[in-house]
Amino acid sequence: MKRVGVIGGGQLALMMADAAKKLNLELVVQTPNRNDPAVGRANDVVFASVDSAIATGILAEKCDVITFENEFVDLEALSVLANKGVCFRPRIEALAPLLDKYDQRCYLRDLGLPVPKFFNIDRYKSAQEKSLKSQVAELGFPVVLKARRHGYDGQGTFIINDFNELLRRLDFENIKSPRSQPLFLLEEFIPFERELAIIAARSVSGEVVAYPVVETQQEEQVCRRVIAPASLAEEVVVEIDKIAQILLNSLEAVGIFGIELFLTVDGKVLVNEIAPRTHNSGHFSLDACSISQFEQHLRAVCGLPLGSPALICAGAVMVNLLGYDGEREYQSKLENISKIPKAHFHWYGKTESRPGRKLGHVTVLLDNNNREQALAIAKSVELIWYHN
């Protein structure tokens, strides 16, 4: 396999393009916008929206294998291409149970993996109020309401504190998109002690390798920082590794998958969400591992042997650089951040900055795995980025 097609042209495709060069592969991206991060770095571009299967047909003619950098695709239309012999990795059947948050929860539960309690809210109407009340009573407030599809960075995820707020939110979301009637997942709020993630890859031959479990910290549902490795009891690490193995094998997945988890105060692990692609919580691997998640993904989808996911340092902390209101001159801040010892920064070259948008990230390598020290370094990066 020499030419890899990627549906999506954002920062994940950009970082994959750099890994492709290392492996002597060519990357062709399908993305709508000439300013998208991967456009300048890819070998070729099909300019079209990511859910255009017609464009993916054109992409397929240029490539040996097609993979994904986001999940906003039209899976039904892509399965027609797959039936005609287009090679998707991961395969369409592995994505099918994951793209809708409710279907995903059902899939994980049926596999016997631990998930929060959840219900489907199917096309909310006031006539359903009674049954909704009894479902909510089973979960207890607060509850978490999530749009079943197209959520990212907390868009479409709402923490709801009482029944009236829930009704208002359901009405509002229904009015906002009256034609496409959004469908919702309602689940229990987990008062987690920490959020964790694991990035795992599965090869064509079924080998699974996993990067160290990391701690992720979200603010307003957006990932702000990642500490690798997470400081955890050995049995928790073993359990999370097992979850990754079970999931990737059951999906017969090929490529990198990101698994987000909750750790409760009493040491219970619950799966929050699966991303069938490279993931923000694995960005540390670019600088802290000899094989990054992007190279690992390309190795998997091209049928190459997988590489070691081990850290090449004692630890690392990754900080997302998010856009904010006001000053748009980032250059001097980036210069100051790069003066931090063992800091590696990655800038995505986005031409448009919005508050909360991921514009780049910094990984600082550590000579120990002391959580407090990692958090102090993250704080110093954030002080420069958001306040100086």
- Which of 260, 287, 295, 382 is close enough to bind ligand ADP by CB under 6 A? 260
- On whether 190 is known to bind a ligand per the annotation, the reply is yes
- On whether 189 is known to bind a ligand per the annotation, the reply is yes
Q: Are 321 and 286 in contact (CB under 8 A)?
A: no
**H/E element, 255:** strand 255-263
Q: Helices 53-62 and 75-83 meet at what angle, rounded to 10?
A: 40
- Which of 54, 80, 140, 152 is close enough to bind ligand ADP by CB under 6 A? 152
3-state SS class at 141: coil
Show the tokens assigned to 372: 């407090």
* Closest approach of ligand ADP to the CB of residue 194, in Å: 10
Q: Is 100 in the site for ligand ADP (CB under 6 A)?
A: no
Q: Is 272 in the site for ligand ADP (CB under 6 A)?
A: yes
- On whether 273 is known to bind a ligand per the annotation, the reply is yes
* Closest approach of ligand ADP to the CB of residue 153, in Å: 5
Q: How many CB atoms lie within 10 A of CB 89?
A: 21
With tokens 């993996």, the residue in question is 113
Q: Is 273 in the site for ligand ADP (CB under 6 A)?
A: yes
- Which of 157, 264, 336, 373 is close enough to bind ligand ADP by CB under 6 A? 157
- On whether 272 is known to bind a ligand per the annotation, the reply is yes
Show the tokens assigned to 15: 């970082």
Nearest to 228 by CA among 275, 309, 285: 285
Show the tokens assigned to 265: 């105060």
* Closest approach of ligand ADP to the CB of residue 154, in Å: 5
* Closest approach of ligand ADP to the CB of residue 11, in Å: 16
Q: Is 278 in the site for ligand ADP (CB under 6 A)?
A: no
DSSP 276-340: SS--GGGTTHHHHBSS-HHHHHHHHHTTPPP----BSSSEEEEEEEE--SS----HHHHHHHHTS
* Closest approach of ligand ADP to the CB of residue 359, in Å: 18
Candidate segments 145-153, 196-204, 282-290, 318-326, binder of ligand ADP by CB under 6 A? 145-153
Q: Give the C-alpha separation, 292 to 148, whole Å.
A: 30
* Closest approach of ligand ADP to the CB of residue 330, in Å: 25
Q: Is 195 in the site for ligand ADP (CB under 6 A)?
A: yes
Annotated binding site for ATP: 101, 146, 187-190, 195, 272-273
Residues of this chain that interact with ligand ADP (CB under 6 A) are 116, 144, 146, 151-155, 157, 187, 189-190, 195, 218, 221, 260, 272-273
